[in-house]
Amino acid sequence: MTVKIKAYAKINLMLDIVNRRTDGYHDLFMIMQSVGIYDTVTVCENDTESISITCSEEGIPLDSRNIAWKAAEAFFVATGIRNKGTEINIVKRIPHAAGLAGGSADGAAVIIALNKIYDTKLSDDELCKIGVKVGADVPFCLTGGTMLSQGIGDILHKVRPLRRCHILLAKPDISVNTGYAYRQFDTFGKMHTPDKLGMLCAMQSRDLNQICDKMENVFEQFIEVPERIAIKEIMKKNGALGFCMSGSGPTVFGIFENKSDAENAAVQLKNIAKDIAVCRPVNRGCKIVE
């Protein structure tokens, strides 16, 4: 059996690191939004008893370091399924190491595909428990849409969907190592705490201006992305309601009411950012297409 899945990227409308836990993980407060750029992940069972990965993009590991591989392993461990011959093909469109959860989206897609292939009928909760072992963003990517994510990414609550808007993603030509980003927090701490209650109220009222006003990502306090200010200025000049960095960066996103404003900003960003996309919010993390 073969299952093909669209695995959507995410942005963080808010990201606060609440504290460092004694086990080394961090308690987070994130307002997550799935967006319409996606990797296509095809999962096929075979009788090789091993996992293999092919990927359209160079530089992505094709072995046990790949999040899709880790997800398949975690699924087989959790379900006790022994014949784990699995072929995974990833067509990458989500820029990697961008703060857009590209790897986590692929991991979530593999878990959903295997749940279907092996007819294991795992509940959302069970899928989430497998996902969090693979990465903090995987539980969100399994469900997607608009969510409040807390704990280490494993406590999820639905919030009201974002109103219709256009989202411009701009990733400068640098990569940020997420582990390094957290070590920076551990060393320097944060100087300002995002207004979490204000953001929840804004999400509840679905007021796009208020949401944009409250957007904040604490990683911006200690992760250096030299192009960030110029990107934000161009977004602002072209009518963005708000802008913020996603995840541990370096992608900066802007929220626009008009598509043409987002597209104009995209053109002006060509010399500053390497990967640029205009997309819309989507209401799911993964979509089975075949």
Catalytic residue annotation: 10, 137
Return the residue of 42, 51, 102, 268 that touches ligand ATP, per CB under 6 A: 102
186 phi-psi bin (left φ>0, alpha ψ -120 to 50, beta other) = alpha
Output 10 or 84, the one with its CB closest to ligand ATP.
Answer: 10
Task: Please pick, from the candidates 6, 15, 103, 127, the single residue that binds ligand ATP as defined by CB under 6 A.
Answer: 103
Residues 141-200 binding ligand ATP (CB under 6 A) are 178
Q: Determine the interface stretch with ligand ATP among 103-111, 157-165, 232-240, 276-284 (rule: CB under 6 A).
A: 103-111
Spatial neighbors of 260 by CB under 8 A, at least 6 apart, are: none
CA angle at 226 for the pair 8 and 148, rounded to the nearest 5° = 35
Rule CB under 6 A: choose which of 3, 74, 97, 203 binds ligand ATP: 97
As a whole number of angstroms, the distance between CA 247 and CA 129 comes to: 21
Q: Show contacts with ligand ATP in window 66-95 (CB under 6 A).
A: 66-68, 90
Cα separation of 101 and 143, whole Å? 13
Nearer to ligand ATP, 2 or 177 (CB): 177
- The 205-234 contact track toward ligand ATP, x by CB under 6 A, reads ------------------------------
In the bound state with ligand ATP, the residue whose beta carbon lies nearer, of 136 and 208, is 136
Binding mask of the shown chain, residues 229 to 248, with x at each position contacting ligand ATP by CB under 6 A: ------------------xx
Q: Find the binding residues for ligand ATP in span 123-142 (CB under 6 A).
A: 137
* Pair of tokens at residue 3: 């299952």
Contact range with ligand ATP by CB under 6 A, out of 65-73, 200-208, 212-220, 272-280: 65-73
Site string for ligand ATP, 105-124 (x = CB under 6 A): -x------------------
Considering only 99, 144, 172, 281, the residue that binds ligand ATP (CB under 6 A) is 99
Interface with ligand ATP, residue 254, by CB under 6 A: no
Q: Taking the complex as a whole, how short is the minimal distance between the CB of residue 165 and ligand ATP, in angstroms?
A: 21
Is 33 one of the binding residues for ligand ATP (CB under 6 A)?
A: no
Q: What are the tokens at 92?
A: 């990458």
If one asks whether residue 40 binds ligand ATP (CB under 6 A), the answer comes out as no
Pick between residue 70 and residue 232 the one whose CB is nearest to ligand ATP. 70
Instruction: Return the number of the residue (97 or 159) whose C-beta is nearest ligand ATP.
Output: 97
DSSP string, the chain: -EEEEEEEEEEEEEEEEEEE-TTS-EEEEEEEEEEEEEEEEEEEE-SSSSEEEEESSTTS--STTSHHHHHHHHHHHHHT-----EEEEEE--SPSSSSS-HHHHHHHHHHHHHHHHTT----HHHHHHHHHHH-TTHHHHHH-SEEEEEETTTEEEE-PPPPS-EEEEEE-S----HHHHHHHHHHH--S----HHHHHHHHHHT-HHHHHHH-EEGGGGT---TTHHHHHHHHHHTT-SEEEE-TTSS-EEEEES-HHHHHHHHHHTTTT-SEEEEE-B-S-SEEE--
The footprint of ligand ATP (CB under 6 A) covers: 60-61, 65-68, 90, 96-104, 106, 137, 178, 247-248
